[in-house]
Every structure is written in structure tokens, then in C-alpha cells.
Homo-oligomer: A and B are copies of this chain.
């Protein structure tokens, strides 16, 4: 088998309101699930405030070591929306009025309602391409390997869904889940030995409490379907030997 093609990504959630707890982030998990589905591994997430120097440092650190970086938040019309200007600074290019974005906003608001503040949303770093916003028109943008998305979850998620098809994934990470009403502390030793027998796989154990009983779901992830299936068969046997019934997937709620 040839070496796996690994494609990685990072998400940067930008916003004081997230760090103060006022707003709960819903975007990282959404992007995570979407990336996993197309063979891109989210290996790092950052939550940072609306501070230019911090945004610049994080964008530059993460774009250097990942195939893709996604930012969320800070691209609206108000003074606290500084993501576009900060990303321009990170790339050391000027922030310019993007002609297509300007036309989109002019058509949407009408020239009489197109305040200077709204025109802020038509500014991108020089060289950026637009990301479609089917919800509220004001676009996101891509520059280099950095994708700048809105913070409002409905808009962020629509932007991500729209651009997802343009991303080049690696070998998809496949997974199988086997569950059982069995204590993690009971199965842990055999589970560790199973992991040792399959170093190319990643076996995770996630406890749950359902129908009044404790149990755990075991997620086997990797890129070789045959090896995942073989490990799942072994896991069934382990669970049975310990006196429980293996369940394919998650147990019923």
C-alpha cells in the first residue's frame, strides 16, 4: 500500500463574545464534521479575541503548517469587525474594495442604503476571491489557503457548504463504531491490546449513560477498510467475552 495522503486543516474562531461565554460557538463542530466527510483532518482549533496582532499571528502560524485554514467571525460592518483587515496584514497585502463584492452589496441594499459601514463588507485583501453568502449577500473570501467565513452560524455554515466542493481531500478517514453496555474500566485492558495490534488505526473510547445504564462507544478510525473491519470483528469478540452484547454503531437512545 502506498503512503496515505494526509490533508490537514485548522479552524480559528474569532470573537470576544465567544471567549466571554455570551455566545456559544457552533461553527467549529460543523466544519469539523464537514471536513471529516471529505477526507480532510481538522487537527487544530483556536479561539481568539478580536485583536489584530493576535489574529495576524494565529493566521500566519496556522497557514504555514496546514493545507487549509478556516476563520469564522469578524467580517460584519461594525468597528469590532477587523478580520478582513487583519488577514490582509497577515498576508502583507493592502485591503482593497473588491469590485464584485461592491456590486453585490450595491444591488442588495440599493445605492441609497449602502452606508460606508456596509461598504466595509466589500473590502478584502488584494488577491482574494469571494466566498458566496446565500443568506445575507455580504461575501466571505479566500486568500491563499485561508478561508474567511462569517460568525453567525447560519451564514458560516452556508458559506462552508458552498465552498466545500472546491477543497481537495486526502485519503478519507473511514470509521466504524461498536458499542456495548460495558464499563470502560472493564474493557480498557483488552481495548489497549487491540490498539497495540493495530497501530495504523486509531481506537477511541467514549463513555455514555443511556437507558439507565453505563456503556461506551468504541470508534475505530483509519484509511484501510479491511483492517478496520478486522478490528471490529475482534472488538465484537472482546465485548462478548466480557459478558456484554456488541452493538454496531451507537446504541438506541
Contact = CB atoms under 8 A, between A and B. Distances in A.
A241 interface: no
Nearest to A30: B21
A20 interface: yes
Interface string A179-208: 000001111110110010000001111110
A221 interface: yes
Contacts of A221: 16, 20
A63 interface: no
Contacts of A36: 20-21
Contacts of A205: 76, 78-80
B188 A77 contact: yes
B47 A115 contact: no
Contact of A77 (B20, B24, B49, B185): B185
Contact of A32 (B21, B76, B186): B21
B78 A188 contact: yes
A53 B49 CA distance: 26
A186 to B, nearest CB: 6
A35 B16 CA distance: 14
A5 interface: no
Interface of A is mostly: mixed
Nearest to A79: B192
Contacts of A45: 13, 18-19, 45-48
Interface string A34-53: 11100001111111111000
Contacts of A115: 185-186, 188-189
A168 to B, nearest CB: 19
B42 A19 contact: yes
A93 interface: no
Q: Which 9 A-B pairs have the closest CB atoms?
A: A117-B188, A21-B33, A45-B47, A21-B32, A79-B192, A118-B185, A78-B205, A24-B29, A77-B185
16 contacts: A13-B45, A20-B32, A20-B33, A20-B36, A20-B173, A20-B221, A21-B32, A22-B219, A43-B49, A44-B46, A78-B192, A79-B205, A80-B195, A80-B203, A80-B204, A117-B184
